[in-house]
Chains A and B, each alone.
Chain A
Amino acid sequence: MIAAAFVSEGGKLSGWCANSVITPDNLCFIAETCRGILSANRAEQRPAQTGVVAFGNRTLVFREGEAGLFLAYLDSPTNDAVLKWLFNQVNPLLEAEGVKLD
Chain B
Amino acid sequence: MLHQALILTSHREYAQAMRQGLLKLGHEKTRIDVELDAARAMQLAPQQYELILLDTVLDTMDGLQLLQLIKQQSPASKFIIVSDSADETSRAVAYQNGADFFLERPRTPEAFALALEAIRGLFKPNVAGEPLQKEGDSPVVNIRDIVQMRCLSGDSVLLLVRSQFQSGDIFIFRGEIFHAQYPGKSGEVALQDMLRWNGGLVRIRAIKLTNIPPRTIEVPYRQLLATAEKPDAEGPDMLATGGELFVVSNEPAPDTAALSVVREAPPREDSAPAFFPKPIVLAGGETPLPQVNSHWKVSLSGDLMEGSQVSEPDRCAFITSFIYRKLADVAVALEVDYFSHVTLLGPHLQQVLVADNMGVRHAVFDTVWTTEDLRVQYVKWCCEQSF
Contact = CB atoms under 8 A, between A and B. Distances in A.
Interface in B329-365: 329-331, 333-351, 364
Interface stretch (B67-75, B132-140, B221-229, B319-327): B319-327
Contacts of A60: 330, 334
Interface range for B: 35 or more
A77 B323 contact: no
Given A55-B337, A56-B337, A46 B364 contact: yes
A29 B340 contact: no
A49 to B, nearest CB: 6
A50 B326 contact: no
A55 B340 contact: yes
B369 interface: no
Interface string A32-46: 011011101100101
B150 to A, nearest CB: 24
A29 B344 CA distance: 19
B336 A55 contact: yes
Interface string A16-32: 00000110001001100
Given A37-B326, A53-B330, A80-B372, A44 B336 contact: no
B269 interface: yes
Contact of B327 (A37, A38, A48, A79): A37
B248 to A, nearest CB: 27
B273 A77 contact: yes
Contacts of A30: 330, 333-334
A34 B273 CA distance: 24
**Residue picked from B273, B337, B347, most chain A C-beta under 10 Å:** B273
Contacts of A67: none
Interface in A56-94: 56-58, 60, 73, 77, 79-80
A1 interface: no
Contacts of B273: 57, 77, 79
Nearest to B272: A77
Contact of B333 (A26, A46, A56, A58): A26
A30 B315 CA distance: 24
A79 B275 contact: yes
Interface in B234-291: 268-269, 273, 275-277
A47 interface: yes
A41 B343 contact: no
A48 B364 CA distance: 11
Nearest to B353: A53
A53 B364 CA distance: 16
B345 A40 contact: no
Contacts of B342: 51-54
Contact of B345 (A51, A57, A73): A51
Given A40-B322, A44-B319, A80-B372, A52 B345 contact: yes
A99 B334 CA distance: 26
Interface in B296-340: 315, 319, 322-323, 326-327, 329-331, 333-340
Identify the 9 closest CB pairs spanning chains A and B, nearest first: A48-B346, A48-B344, A77-B273, A55-B336, A50-B345, A52-B343, A80-B372, A26-B333, A53-B342
18 contacts: A21-B335, A26-B333, A29-B211, A44-B319, A46-B344, A46-B346, A46-B351, A47-B347, A47-B348, A52-B345, A54-B341, A55-B339, A55-B340, A56-B269, A57-B269, A58-B334, A77-B273, A79-B275
Interface of A: 21-22, 26, 29-30, 33-34, 36-38, 40-41, 44, 46-58, 60, 73, 77, 79-80
